[in-house]
Every structure is written in C-alpha cells, then in structure tokens.
Amino acid sequence: MQLELGSLFKLCPHGGGGRIPFPDNPAVTMEIRGRGPPDSEWAAYNPDYPYGEPYCYTKHGAPDQVVDDCLKAFEQVPVDSDGRITDANKIRTKSLEVVFKSCAVKIFSNDGSNINLVKEQASVTFGDMVRKCDKQLGYLNVDGKEGPNEE
C-alpha cells in the first residue's frame, strides 16, 4: 500500500487528489480527495454523509425543478423482471439518467459497479427527497450496488 500511496502522490503532487488501482488487484482502487465544502453541491459526496438523508442544494443560475416532473422522471426509470433498475435495454448498468421536462434523475454507483436496487424499494425515499428539496437539486445516498463498496 505504501508503494501505491507514493505513486498517487507523485501523480498528484499539488494535493488535488486522485485514484489509482492496486497492481496486485486492479479491481481495488485507492482514492484521495478533498472534502466537499459544507453547503456546496459536493457535500453529499463526502464519505461520511449519511445514507438515506436527502441533501438539497440551490445551484445559482439553474432553473427551478418541478416536483411532478421529477416524480414522472423516476416513474420512467426502467427495471428488469425482478424490479431492479436497468438501462433502457433492460441490462444492468452502473449509471443511468432519465429526463422529464425540468428534471433529470441520475442514478449511479459510487464504485463503478452495477446498480443493484429495486426501484419500488427506493420510490418512497426518492419521493420524500423530491418533496423536501422542492425546486432545488436533490442528492440521496442509498444502498444498492454490487461492487467492492457494497453496503
């Protein structure tokens, strides 16, 4: 690990952070990055931000979102026969985006693995976030991936 950490610091000498795979197991990576500033668009990406806790953010200059548009976008998220979220071709995916009018719903895993989330189980939490955030952007960390960071 010391070798990988040294390599990472050589690649990123000014402290900007970075990600590097371990040579003996490329599926495992080490990432070093700064924290997202409080009240910023990136705060929900901090590793200690709680799962299931909606984070609302006003992006200056961005148009307001309409709650019903976001709920309709989520309704259009495709699923397989087991109700798990997929891409439009019913294939498991690591990320997808569905847009309906003023709202874009983006679902992705934080470790590059496929999403392993039953849409119905996430719908109540998603609806709560949309209603709480109202016209703001909303972020929500939930369990539902199948990779090395599976929760």
pLDDT in tens, 44-66: 988 888 888 999 999 888 888 99
- Is the model's pLDDT at 12 over the cut of 70? no
pLDDT digits (tens, 9 = 90+) for 78-112: 999 999 999 999 999 999 999 999 999 999 887 78
Cα-flanking dihedrals φ and ψ of residue 139, to 5°?
Answer: -125, 145
Q: Give dist(CA 68, CA 40) in Å, integer.
A: 25
* Single-letter amino acid, residue 141: N
Please tell me whether the overall predicted TM-score, pTM, comes out greater than 0.85 for this model. no
Domain ranges of the chain: 52-141
> In this structure, are residues 92 and 114 in contact, taking their beta carbons and an 8 Å threshold?
yes
Asked whether 113 and 136 are in contact (CB, 8 A), the reply is no
pLDDT-above-90 percentage for the chain = 46
Residues 50, 133: contact at Cβ < 8 Å?
A: no
